[in-house]
Structure 1
């Protein structure tokens, strides 16, 4: 194995970056534990500086550069979190920084990156496109490339999370880590396996971008045909060769979660754990919530890698999940055109204990009879029986439910 990193290497690098980072909390997730019949802990890297774990690897790499390299300036490519980590580190250490991000990166991550005073370039659709552009600019301007994952110094920095996990839960049975390019899992798994070989290290990927999942089948980094994913932080079409070698030695398995499962978990974490998680960060909890491990009575640590999700995306995701889980529904009601119809309908709804999210009226439906209108209500319900009772009550009062 060419890329050997010892537990001492990780501990030494941790001491170098420790003054600059947050030691993030690891909490016991009561609801996840109850639902899965395990003891589930969540490592909150969403509370790290710049909103994700990426600052650890970025600092590890940048602090290892020579003074001459720092003066030349640095460049990095990212969907958002690595760009913020490198931008934060560059500003803190007064190093000229260029960042390349895909045009599809979330607006919140683009705006957050700009705040660090970087030279920002938008290019391509996926991370891999931005990485190619960053390599071109680095060569053209003689800048030092700070890779998002495929670098031993990056891996050493991300491994500091493994150190903190074992300090808090030294007898963990499973540690679940998102995998995109593989940097964070390479670091965490290499450290934990050397200190606690019995612990199982499980990678989690989105079904839409299963790069490492497919690479394990072929025995080498495999370029997948990716689809857009709400787990944009791990939407990397090909695992790095350096990280792949480390993962093959220390990662026990990799499992996939669907876009719907990730979306439901984002809302679950917000409602039940008061945690704001981005798509990539929610994947590990999704694996537990949807019983992908199929284990009980185990100590499981889910690494929540980041919380950089913009308000618009969060609202879109939660709205989608509420419809998906039938907690939100649309009811179209045909009613006489009358000043009393709307108030009567809303009174019936409230008497059934149902909350109205949105309401609108229309007389423009082609199928409507004379002097009739459609009142469309978007409702938030707790149980399906509430909707059944409401429909019966509306019908009893002379209103028609339109499919």
Structure 2
């Protein structure tokens, strides 16, 4: 029997949790609209308390647990955002000392620290969410603690669906809503509510190509456990869609698209540069799908759900660095020269005269291809315009230096 959630169910859940949460803003993404030739809006759940949408579902679930059961405590598993949502909710409700969170061993450090700071017990176990979830179930069975599942629970789904209420109040006549999907709680909740109010609005699920659990389940018409790969969208790196969420997703999702790691990285960069918004990998997937026009849409009114912003500085710098390299805006010049004390000054002068910023530089005499009295410089620069790179290449060569990667540099121009 398929699970049914009514419009009234969502609205009563919203009434129950609204005093505890932020009503997050919706922005008109002008630059993204211009790039894609669509009218694009973004729902900023990265500005929710605890940094993601997960607080909504966590509160909805915890507030529905019988007091006698709740007295034994709660346990949850998450790659990060659900753990922080549950921990934040537990702190607000005064039960943090009775709360246990199980997280994958490779969960981002920022999310582990962000969970611990609320005073809950944190256990690291396994590589994926599913490994951590099995451990959480084991703890629940052994201790009698109530399991607060990350997605496969009707109360959780109702809580996440309250985002749909805010979306439809903020923007009228939406034609498409792009929503990240991992286990399916967010997408099934928003999708269910939106279809009840505006059945003509198309719901598009967006998933990491590295962990396409719902994509595969949709093709097979049943949830399936996949192997998956590591993804920068760790918040949706779920190896198997929930059975409850899958049934709802099958009713409300019009299409599912996959985005690559490179596309997610470029979406994170775009959000930061053009909107001054910090998004985590999972949070940026919906924007990536629209940015790279996965459905070839034009002149459509689109909402992207930015589900979270819990990303540590090191990961953010690594991801944006990769995006700049993929866009050929950050390039490395491999310069060979006879050893001379003026080499560094001459190279940096050329780059400076072209008003190009040096990101990093190092000198070496250790490469196997070097002859006696030769050295090489690896100069990483940030290029604003291809003409700048052409000018630097020409001036480097005019100075008598050899560019070991000249063919690559010319290929990307």
- Aligned-pair distance for 1:171? 1.0
- Aligned-pair distance for 1:237? 0.8
- Aligned-pair distance for 1:401? 1.6
Aligned pair count reads: 403
The TM-score, its normalising length taken from structure 2, stands at: 0.96
| SS of structure 1 residue aligned to 2:11 | helix
In the other structure, the counterpart of 1:91 is: 91
Q: Deviations over 1:28-62 (max 9, x none)?
A: 00111001111100000000000000000000000
8 Å Cα contact 2:60-2:159 kept in structure 1: yes
In the other structure, the counterpart of 1:10 is: 10
In the other structure, the counterpart of 1:80 is: 80
8 Å Cα contact 2:37-2:299 kept in structure 1: yes
Instruction: Work out the CA distance in 2 between the residues paired with 1:183 and 1:173.
Output: 21
* Mean CA deviation greater in 171-180 or 346-355: 346-355
In the other structure, the counterpart of 2:250 is: 248
- Aligned-pair distance for 1:323? 1.3
1:177-256 paired onto structure 2 within 5 Å: 177-256=179-258
- Aligned-pair distance for 1:338? 2.6
Q: Closer, same or farther in 2 for the Cα pair 1:240/1:366, shift >3 Å?
A: closer
Segments of structure 1 that go 5 or more residues without pairing to the other structure are none
* Mean CA deviation greater in 11-20 or 321-330: 321-330
In the other structure, the counterpart of 2:143 is: 141
In the other structure, the counterpart of 2:313 is: 311
Instruction: Work out the CA distance in 1 between the residues paired with 2:244 and 2:343.
Output: 67
1:278-297 paired onto structure 2 within 5 Å: 278-297=280-299
In the other structure, the counterpart of 1:40 is: 40
Q: Closer, same or farther in 2 for the Cα pair 1:343/1:131, shift >3 Å?
A: same
In the other structure, the counterpart of 2:411 is: none
* Mean CA deviation greater in 108-117 or 327-336: 327-336
- Aligned-pair distance for 1:395? 1.3
* Mean CA deviation greater in 345-354 or 161-170: 345-354
Instruction: Work out the CA distance in 2 between the residues paired with 1:22 and 1:268.
Output: 25
Instruction: Work out the CA distance in 1 between the residues paired with 2:385 and 2:302.
Output: 31
In the other structure, the counterpart of 1:394 is: 396
In the other structure, the counterpart of 1:375 is: 377
| SS of structure 1 residue aligned to 2:19 | helix
Q: Deviations over 1:278-326 (max 9, x none)?
A: 0001000001100112111111000000000111111111111111111
| SS of structure 2 residue aligned to 1:19 | coil
Q: Deviations over 1:207-253 (max 9, x none)?
A: 11111111111111111121111101001111111111111111111
Q: Are 1:110 and 2:112 matched, yes or no?
A: yes
In the other structure, the counterpart of 1:165 is: 167
Instruction: Work out the CA distance in 2 between the residues paired with 1:202 and 1:142.
Output: 38
Instruction: Work out the CA distance in 2 between the residues paired with 1:151 and 1:341.
Output: 64
Instruction: Work out the CA distance in 2 between the residues paired with 1:136 and 1:348.
Output: 63
8 Å Cα contact 2:2-2:248 kept in structure 1: no
